[in-house]
Structure 1
Amino acid sequence: MPMNPALQLTAEELEKKVASLHFFKEVGRHDPEQLQILIQQSHLYSVAPGETFLKAGEQGSWMYFLMRGKLLVCDPLDHSKVIGVLIPGDVFGEIAVITGHKRTQDIVAPGLIREAVVFATDFACLHAKPEHNPLTLPTKLIVYRQIVHILRWRIELYRSRFPDHPMVRVPFNLIHRSPAGDTEEELQEQRDYALFLADRLQQLNTKLGPINNDVGDVLS
């Protein structure tokens, strides 16, 4: 994670920036005060052309939302090997948030085009003990449900690309939501399910290679 945010914005300015992000809309719709807590743990970053934003081997509790521009997913040993492209609306960093594993690829801004803008939120509070956690149970459930949705969607991309591969044919719809809803039991189920999906996705990334947007025409 970069040491200093490139763009110093007020909480009000950050809130305007996240207005387009469904992830945060759900939190704000349920509890505006909880949204403010997440915003207080967020930064907006400007990534200059050619700059390395994230490096393989790093660990962190931050999740990232690309707001503008493009970012390249690159081989950490050779940035000329572009594995995928992130475009506005893409989310990245969620596997490290859930599993605590080190990042496996570098995230780099391509040269010769305008800067990229990334919204970043520290989700370390997801793992804090209840007595030290500013997030309420409903908010944590919203966050985990959103992360589960992202992870399932990424695995579905593998299913569409490799429909007959045995690794993607294994069922992954294992969660059974508590009938009452919004309970600590459901939160634990969502945590377990998110970890299961993140581990599965990391295995697919390792065995089959990451699936991102088309790497062609990355400088357009």
Structure 2
Amino acid sequence: MDTKPLSDYPRDAVDRLLNVIHLFRDIRATSEWQYDVLLKRSRLVSLEQGEQLLSAGDVDQWLYFLLRGELYVQMEAESPAPAADRPLAVIRPGELFGDLSMLLAEPRSATVVASPASRDTQVLGVDCTLFSDLDDFSLLHLPTKLVFYRNMVHSLRWKLEVYRSKYPEHQLADSHRKLKLYTGPKNCREELVAQADQARALARILLSWNAEFGSGELMDDESDMSDFLESMLS
């Protein structure tokens, strides 16, 4: 596994890459300085075929976006050949993952490895520890944290709607719709707390869905990133 900070790459190429990821684009629109803070907490990870990225039981605050290749989600750290052929879920380019563990501050429930057939797997990792303390605005300010949790809520609700559309009669189908949207004052700490609480509640519901069905068919709505390496390495 080869890990490099984004600062190792040309800034204009990094900007083009991150502009197709809603979280980075929205934060940059709020504040260029806050965007720079997040860049310093981000890294690019390259994986060989079958190489492991995350282990079940890991505890960290990293959020990931798959940029190129394919990842397998498995329940065990070991991946003998039969299990590798039948992963619990498949992560494809454009998908955000690691959000449930990050939001709930719980150990990761599964192991993530590069597909044995994927020769070129690239992942963007973001250290989200700065978002966890809702009262600390020393580095990330209130508007930035609001952007983050609004994005998390939107992403989680989208994934839950996908499950609902596939299994409309399931007992979990309407669970997320029973969580009331925030309707109070905007752009204040009250909204931040409410959005963070809602993101955690949605994450727990999604965790229940994943435990039963896996998450291989869920896709985030990020744009295709298949050409980013040529830009960054040119």
Same fold (TM over 0.5): yes
Structure 1 residue aligned with 2:41: 41
Provide structure 1 residue ranges, at least 5 long, that are not aligned to the other structure: 215-220
C-alpha contact 1:42 1:119 (8 A) present in aligned 2: yes
Structure 2 residue aligned with 1:177: 183
C-alpha contact 1:28 1:35 (8 A) present in aligned 2: yes
Distance 1:6 1:73 in 2: 23
- 1:54 equivalent in alignment to 2:59: no
Identity of paired residues, percent?
Answer: 29
C-alpha contact 2:182 2:195 (8 A) present in aligned 1: no
C-alpha contact 1:69 1:115 (8 A) present in aligned 2: yes
- 1:139 equivalent in alignment to 2:144: yes
SS of match in other structure, 2:87:
strand
C-alpha contact 1:75 1:81 (8 A) present in aligned 2: no
Q: Alignment RMSD, CA only? A: 2.1
TM-aligned CA deviation for residue 150 of structure 1: 1.0
TM-aligned CA deviation for residue 33 of structure 1: 0.8
TM-aligned CA deviation for residue 156 of structure 1: 1.1
TM-aligned CA deviation for residue 132 of structure 1: 6.0
- TM-score of the aligned structures, taking structure 1 as reference length: 0.87
Distance 1:140 1:7 in 2: 22
C-alpha contact 1:7 1:46 (8 A) present in aligned 2: no
Distance 1:66 1:136 in 2: 27
SS of match in other structure, 2:210:
helix
Structure 1 residue aligned with 2:95: 90
* Partner AA of 1:184 in structure 2: R
Q: How many residues align?
A: 210
TM-aligned CA deviation for residue 130 of structure 1: 3.7
The structure 2 residue matched to 1:192, chosen from 168, 178, 197, is: 197
Q: Deviations over 1:14-57 (max 9, x none)?
A: 33431221221011111111111000000000011110111111
Distance 1:57 1:167, change over 3 A: same
The 5-angstrom pairing of residues 154-173 of structure 1 reads 154-170=159-175, 171-173=177-179
The structure 1 residue matched to 2:215, chosen from 202, 211, 216, is: 211
Provide structure 2 residue ranges, at least 5 long, that are not aligned to the other structure: 219-234
SS of match in other structure, 1:38:
helix
Distance 1:168 1:195, change over 3 A: same
TM-aligned CA deviation for residue 116 of structure 1: 0.7
Distance 1:37 1:7, change over 3 A: closer
